[in-house]
Structure 1
Amino acid sequence: MVNGVSSAAEQAEQLKQDGNLYFKKNRLGAAIDAYTEAITLCPNVPVYFTNRALCHRKRNEWARVEEDCMRAVRLDPKSVKGHYMLGLALLQRENYAEGIKALERALDLGRGAHPNSYMVEEIWQELASAKYKEWVHESAKRTLALQKLEKSCEIALQEKLVHDLSHMMDDTDEVFSSTSEQLAALKLIFSKAAEADKPTDVPDYLCCKITLDIFRDPVITPSGLTYERAIILDHLEKVGKFDPITREPLHPSQLVPNLAIKEAVGAYLEKHGWAYKMD
């Protein structure tokens, strides 16, 4: 029995390798067949499902991507690729809430395992794009609702003016003046209400001193400076073990998550979704 299980596992692993080779040659059908055979032999290995999902993704078969990734994350709740592609599949059918949740999970897991990997950056870009699209959608709804409400208020004030004028003979100038002031105040109020959806400059303290972009995963150095984790790790690896601004010696182990800034960035993005826009 043990030999049988071992043999099945070995066959499945060989099929995965075959699938990987087919995938590199863009023979997606053959790759899918190989991964499917591997799954038949060993249905509890999550990477077989994520590999097959990647093939479906290249074919734009998003329902199958979602199905395979759902199975993968059930088998391995810490599967970065599983949560990532699941998020993409959910976004394809405009399930923004669940899609964004899956991408956020993938981002958290990716940062913990490989903080400066290409996949973490890729996940962030997809998440930021989804968040920005969600903001555009919600912003349009808010703008329309404010415009309708402002128009209704203007109509109500105009109707009140007509009513007041019809019941008085004197001091009409005062009534006109009062209505004008109310209309001006109304316009100011609705103008301020719309300001939250108008892009402005992101505060400097929420931006990395190297990239000048809003923080994604901020870390603080012993000297008190805060950098984007992936950027400072890349600097330490490729340029040298020193702080790029203070020039003091700096090692990756000395970097500490800046939770205060991370929370501030989260709160800022929650109120200003336009800041997710990628240049």
Structure 2
Amino acid sequence: MVTGGGSLSAAAQQAEQLKLLGNFYFKKEHFGAAIDAYTEAITLCPNIPVYWTNRALCHRKRNDWARVEEDSRRAIQLDNKSVKGHYFLGLALLQRQEYTEGIRELEKALDLGRGADPNGYMVEEIWQELAKAKYIDWESAFVKRSWELQHLKEACELALTEKHFRDVSQMEGFIDQAEAEHSKQLLALERVFRGAAEADMHTEVPDYLCCRITLDILRDPIITPSGHTYERAVILQHLQKSKSDPVTREPLHPSQLVPNLAIKEAVQAFLDKHGWAYKP
């Protein structure tokens, strides 16, 4: 007779075998068969988050975003620190053009991914998707702001023109003066709206927000004892080959790297203001 504990153990072992089978089918791009295998594993052990995220990935490959969302949410319920759960949920929400919620989930996945494995492939992949999402979100808002700005400008021009006609009718003998004043006001109006439009355009990323090695915008900045800031994954890779600061050549150990929270906040503020100017 098999005990209750033995039955659970047998079910867990069978579920793991089904997961491995699903992984095999996934690599062969037999996504339907992989989904079936993961589904059987879930039936046996429904409280294992990875089974849900594995199945969500298969649904993603088939562009079945409703099921991606369902499985991702279930994985997050089981483990709120599931990187893939938040990542896949973010992607599914973006497909529904729920940009605010989708971006929030991707940011959560990025933070969790950095904490778990700063050099992992998932961190770079999540960053790229987050960059695209924020750019699309900013671009959509930019188009709306541009239309509103143009509409406001036209309304102001119309109001100035109407005022000009009233002034001309009341300033007999001073028409030239009225024309000059009208032209002056239109030029001032043009400068104001041109400045507003330019302030909303993309801009170059300042040097101090870029990694000293790659010259790319910082994503996970750390600072060394010498005061130089680098991208965490890049400096760690450098330290595998050389045990010194790339700029000062002073001895440097990974334990001496400290998160540069000030620069991280500055990067986020810059990207929020300029529409994720780093377009992947």
* TM-score when normalising by structure 2: 0.96
Answering whether residue 143 of structure 2 is matched by residue 140 of structure 1, we say yes
One-letter code aligned to 1:262: K
Partner of 1:48: 51
Answering whether residue 233 of structure 2 is matched by residue 230 of structure 1, we say yes
Partner of 1:182: 185
Partner of 2:85: 82
Tell me if structure 1 keeps the 8 A contact 2:131–2:276. no
Partner of 1:250: 252
Write the distance in 1 (CA, Å) between the matches of 2:74 and 2:202. Answer: 40
Q: CA deviation at 1:146?
A: 0.5
Write the distance in 2 (CA, Å) between the matches of 1:27 and 1:178. Answer: 74
Q: CA deviation at 1:200?
A: 2.4
One-letter code aligned to 2:261: L
Q: CA deviation at 1:274?
A: 4.5
Task: State which of 7, 16, 21 in structure 1 corresponds to 2:19.
Answer: 16
Tell me if structure 1 keeps the 8 A contact 2:203–2:274. no
Count of residue pairs the alignment pairs up: 277
Write the distance in 1 (CA, Å) between the matches of 2:103 and 2:199. Answer: 22
SS in 1 for 2:205: coil
Tell me if structure 1 keeps the 8 A contact 2:149–2:193. yes
One-letter code aligned to 1:277: K
Write the distance in 1 (CA, Å) between the matches of 2:154 and 2:15. Answer: 66
Moved over 3 A (4+): none
Write the deviation string for residues 144-173 of structure 1: whole angstroms up to 9, x where unpaired.
111110011001101111111112312121
Aligned-pair identity (%): 69
Write the distance in 2 (CA, Å) between the matches of 1:26 and 1:161. Answer: 71
Write the distance in 2 (CA, Å) between the matches of 1:127 and 1:170. Answer: 63
Partner of 1:117: 120
Write the deviation string for residues 34-64 of structure 1: whole angstroms up to 9, x where unpaired.
1000100111110000001111111111111
RMSD: 1.0
Tell me if structure 2 keeps the 8 A contact 1:110–1:119. yes
Answering whether residue 272 of structure 2 is matched by residue 270 of structure 1, we say yes
* TM-score when normalising by structure 1: 0.97
Closer, same or farther: CA 19–274 of 1 in aligned 2, 3 Å? closer
Partner of 1:163: 166
Write the distance in 2 (CA, Å) between the matches of 1:240 and 1:59. Answer: 44
Gaps of 5+ in 2: none
